[in-house]
Structure 1
């Protein structure tokens, strides 16, 4: 049985025109299995964000294929991509991307409303995910009334409420203090363990990365190294991540 949720094959991405062409991604291939929590790390300009943008359908690849839950997104038309993104993908961004005019409840419910689900079903799903993330008491509050950590938990709830095949997180702890970061990462762990949520997370932060099962390190648009947590404690995994960061050529300023 093939349990790969994500299959990236021979991916290339070029930017620019004939006068000046940049190869942002250079023949990258990797798989993510159902229920895995995978981190992507690399110095600034390594191609990690470009890679995430291609997987999230924000950017088009130059060559290669990206298979998510059995569908090759590189062959889809704009309308199909729109539906696919809504049904199959969940997003958690660094800057939360919550709508200021909606309550936390409404922000979480929005994707379900757009899909045309019944009100009673929406209510059930929103309350279930809020309970899991411990945010039931802020559902009626607006984004300006809650902390950064709470906003990111609401964003996390919004990402998971549709039961997507894949959650894509782009620097999810980038705007958070260390306490809020830890709370969010524990939420990710919980979603991953209890719901078998499949998470692909781009981060420059070794502490954040140490919550994942496996880290892909990208340098100059290629996969440079891979570290698997296995039975390591998080502290041991963190130390191994730091070793690779050092190997990346003194880029720890950019990676940590």
Structure 2
């Protein structure tokens, strides 16, 4: 079966001839449909640059990235917007909700932009709201919601269009521990019940322990990879900490 995401020999350079920085160094990996992948690494390791290239926010210097068989590195700017709308869902650390719209309207906007039929929008919103347990905040504005509620609304907005790949950038970074746990449990539920494919960048070992596979990035390359398998989340968390210690420096550099 063709993977949802295929990253092939990707490199990314910044700067000019007098000062060049290689942010990504010959990275390659695949993500199958229904996987929940975590990407970890210290600040400056290249993980955010990698996410930006996969999300089409940035372009690669060399190599190719395929999403659902489409080589996004060859897409021209006029086609990228349509590709993002149809194939990608985004969850940001700072929620990125529109303050003048209710939760319902924020989620509906994603469907409207995609061109979904009006008679389907209400059904889709209510279905995803029920799964993320945000039905009771659909008529509230962002300022009336907790951080955890806002992030679950943002997650609903990302998943409601049924994208091929959901990209989450430090999704628990602005949340307290309880809200973070509820959000991550929601991710697990979306992954399990809807077969949502999630690629999540995080500094946090607790957050990463909810994923099924972790890629560790160091100096722009994949340093290690671990798979949760039959491990409990607690055992997987401890394994993550072990690998983090091998990355060098203090654990706090990554966590």
TM-score normalized with structure 1 length: 0.99
Deviation at 1:116, TM superposition (A): 2.2
1:63 aligns with 2:72: no
- Matched residue, 1:6: 5
- Matched residue, 2:133: 134
1:215 aligns with 2:251: no
1:26 aligns with 2:12: no
SS in 2 for 1:43: coil
Q: Distance in 1 between matches of 2:125 and 2:167?
A: 20
Q: Distance in 1 between matches of 2:102 and 2:122?
A: 14
Taking the TM superposition and a 5 Å limit, the aligned residue runs for 1:67-106 are: 67-106=66-105
Q: CA offsets, 1:39-83, max 9 Å, x none?
A: 000000000000000000000000000000110000001111110
Q: Distance in 2 between matches of 1:21 and 1:220?
A: 14
Deviation at 1:253, TM superposition (A): 1.3
Deviation at 1:207, TM superposition (A): 0.2
CA contact (8 A) 1:165 1:198 kept: yes
CA contact (8 A) 1:43 1:251 kept: no
Q: CA offsets, 1:97-156, max 9 Å, x none?
A: 000011000101111111222222011101110011000010010000000000000000
- Matched residue, 2:243: 244
Structure 1: gaps of 5 or more residues:
none
SS in 2 for 1:98: coil
Q: Distance in 2 between matches of 1:36 and 1:63?
A: 26
SS in 1 for 2:94: coil
Structure 2: gaps of 5 or more residues:
none
- Matched residue, 1:200: 199
Deviation at 1:251, TM superposition (A): 3.8
Q: Distance in 1 between matches of 2:171 and 2:9?
A: 27
CA contact (8 A) 1:7 1:66 kept: yes
* Inter-CA distance 26–251: structure 2 relative to 1 (3 Å threshold): farther
Q: CA offsets, 1:174-206, max 9 Å, x none?
A: 000000000000000000000000000000000
Q: CA offsets, 1:199-256, max 9 Å, x none?
A: 0000000000000000000000000000100100000000000000000002411211
TM-score normalized with structure 2 length: 0.99
Q: Distance in 2 between matches of 1:74 and 1:202?
A: 21
RMSD: 0.6
CA contact (8 A) 1:94 1:172 kept: yes
CA contact (8 A) 1:10 1:64 kept: yes
SS in 2 for 1:225: strand
Runs of 4+ displaced beyond 6 Å: none
SS in 1 for 2:51: helix
1:185 aligns with 2:180: no
SS in 2 for 1:57: coil
- Matched residue, 1:170: 169
- Matched residue, 2:43: 44
Q: Distance in 2 between matches of 1:95 and 1:217?
A: 24
